[in-house]
């Protein structure tokens, strides 16, 4: 079974593997970043509840920026997948 | 009806559906629909709101317009200059917002379940508008040549000037590029997650027995509900982020040296 698995892996399969791995690793970075934003925001609101409105705005905007960076990597992986599809069928 | 909703794969839900060869596609129709809805809707609201304090739906639209003016345009551009750019940012904000939300509406309102802003050509056009506005504002403020010469901040040693100029030029281009990809990827990713979850409804029962299929369907529907709510939030936030970043870029371009 292992031999058939190894025989089935071609260069194109490695391409898909790379695309998926890239998207996953990019999500790790986004998760860490947004988690830190959330923890700092909660701490700041606990220190100073009157600033909750401002902190909410800052949290949402910065979280959207970090998510945008993660999605850049996802877009690159989608491009890889698209060109692999074209390489297979074209 | 199922021919409109069914797709060969997840990716078919994300890319454009051609309707008339190269001339018309699903995203085209959605853009035209949004434009018509915006023009007719705002005209009706304006007519009803002309006589005194508006209530009901015109009041809601006024709240949204005032919010965009006081939270996005005036803080970054000031009242006098902001008044001149206000219509552009209103158009930008509501166009992006209506397109994002239209992508979430179900079948009779949105025949393909796609979002026009999930097409990178659409978001690139919007970012191109922002880019042109930034350059035009900067050139009007600092003079046609002065704007380019003032790209580099004061106080830079003259040896560093070419390098900093090159970096600033690249920055001028990457900022609209980031706007494009951010909006496109946020809209596409949301629809991709939804398409995969819908695929679970069809696929799990096909490959396993009915009991596992039923449980997976319930879990998939719960997830889909959550993702739909989250996508609504993302639609609003991304419209706000695009507009506020455009306002920031214009304010950077017209900033006076001090």
User: Tens digit of pLDDT for each residue in B131-186?
Assistant: 999 999 999 988 888 888 888 888 888 888 899 999 999 989 999 999 999 999 99
Q: A1 in a domain, yes or no?
A: no
Asked if the Cβ–Cβ distance from B237 to A75 is below 8 Å, we say no
Among B8-12, B43-47, B128-132, the range scoring the smallest mean pLDDT is B8-12
Q: A16 in a domain, yes or no?
A: no
The answer to whether the beta carbons of residues B93 and B68 sit under 8 Å apart is yes
Q: B258 in a domain, yes or no?
A: no
* A72 in contact with chain B, both atoms CB, cutoff 8 A: yes
Q: A8 in a domain, yes or no?
A: no
pLDDT at B2: 44
Residue A53's domain comprises 35-90
- Residue B199 three-state SS: helix
What's the longest Cα–Cα distance across chain B?
Answer: 74
pLDDT at B170: 92
pLDDT at A61: 85
Q: B82 in a domain, yes or no?
A: yes
Q: A55 in a domain, yes or no?
A: yes
Tell whether the model's pLDDT for residue B4 goes beyond 50.
no
pLDDT at B10: 72
Asked if the Cβ–Cβ distance from A71 to B237 is below 8 Å, we say no
Write the pLDDT tens digit of every residue in B189-237. 899 888 888 888 877 877 777 788 888 889 999 999 999 999 999 999 9
Quick one: pLDDT band at residue B8, thresholds 50, 70, 90?
A: low
**What is the spatial distance between Cα B240 and Cα B64, in angstroms, rounded to a whole number?**
11
Closest chain A CA to residue B187: A71
The partner residue sitting opposite A61, judged by closest CB among B181, B186, B241, is B241
Q: A59 in a domain, yes or no?
A: yes
Residue B179's domain comprises 2-253
Handedness of CA B122, B223, A53, A30 (dihedral sign): negative
**What is the spatial distance between Cα B111 and Cα B2, in angstroms, rounded to a whole number?**
11
Contacts for A74 with CB less than 8 Å, ≥ 6 apart: A23, A26, A27, B185, B189
Q: B85 in a domain, yes or no?
A: yes
ipTM of this complex > 0.85?
A: no
CA distance B123 to chain A (A): 14
**What is the spatial distance between Cα B76 and Cα B245, in angstroms, rounded to a whole number?**
10
Q: B53 in a domain, yes or no?
A: yes
Q: A69 in a domain, yes or no?
A: yes
**Total number of domains constituting chain B:** 1
Q: A10 in a domain, yes or no?
A: no
Write the pLDDT tens digit of every residue in A25-54. 999 999 999 999 999 999 999 999 998 888
Closest chain B CA to residue A63: B237
Q: B15 in a domain, yes or no?
A: yes
**Stronger pLDDT, A78 or A8, i.e. the higher one:** A78
Q: A25 in a domain, yes or no?
A: no
Which residue do the tokens 């166009």 mark?
Answer: B95
pLDDT at B58: 87
Torsion angle in degrees (nearest 10) through CA of A64, A65, A70, A73: 130
Within 13 Å and on the Cβ side, how many CA atoms surround B18?
4
Q: B205 in a domain, yes or no?
A: yes
**Total number of domains constituting chain A:** 1
């Amino acid at each position: 079974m292992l031999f058939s698995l190894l025989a089935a892996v071609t260069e194109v399969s490695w391409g898909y593997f790379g695309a998926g791995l890239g998207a996953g690793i990019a999500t790790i970075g986004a998760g860490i970043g947004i988690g830190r934003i959330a923890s700092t925001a909660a701490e700041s609101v606990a220190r100073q509840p009157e600033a909750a409105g401002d902190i909410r705005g800052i949290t949402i905007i910065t979280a959207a920026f970090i998510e945008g960076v993660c999605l850049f990597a996802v877009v690159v992986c989608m491009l890889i997948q698209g060109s692999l599809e074209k390489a297979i069928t074209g | 009806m199922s021919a409109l909703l069914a797709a060969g794969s997840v990716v078919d839900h994300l890319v454009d559906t051609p309707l008339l060869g190269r001339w018309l596609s699903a995203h085209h129709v959605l853009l035209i629909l949004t434009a018509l809805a915006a023009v007719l809707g705002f005209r009706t609201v304006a007519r009803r709101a002309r006589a005194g304090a508006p209530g009901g739906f015109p009041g809601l639209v006024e709240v949204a317009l005032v919010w965009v003016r006081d939270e996005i345009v005036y803080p970054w551009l000031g009242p006098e200059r902001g008044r001149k750019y206000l219509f552009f940012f209103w158009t930008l904000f509501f166009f992006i917002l209506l397109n994002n939300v239209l992508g979430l509406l179900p079948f009779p309102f949105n025949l393909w379940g796609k979002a026009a802003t999930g097409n990178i050509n659409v978001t690139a056009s919007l970012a191109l508008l922002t880019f042109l506005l930034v350059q035009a504002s900067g050139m009007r403020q600092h003079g046609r040549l002065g704007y380019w010469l003032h790209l580099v901040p004061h106080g830079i040693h003259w040896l560093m000037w070419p390098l900093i100029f090159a970096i600033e030029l690249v920055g001028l281009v990457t900022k609209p590029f980031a706007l494009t990809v951010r909006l496109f990827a946020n809209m596409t990713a949301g629809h991709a997650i939804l398409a995969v979850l819908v695929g679970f409804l069809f696929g799990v029962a096909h490959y396993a027995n009915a009991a596992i299929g039923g449980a997976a369907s319930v879990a998939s529907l719960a997830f889909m509900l959550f993702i739909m709510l989250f996508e609504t939030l993302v639609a609003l936030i991304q419209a706000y982020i695009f507009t506020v970043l455009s306002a920031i870029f214009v304010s950077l371009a017209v900033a006076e040296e001090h």
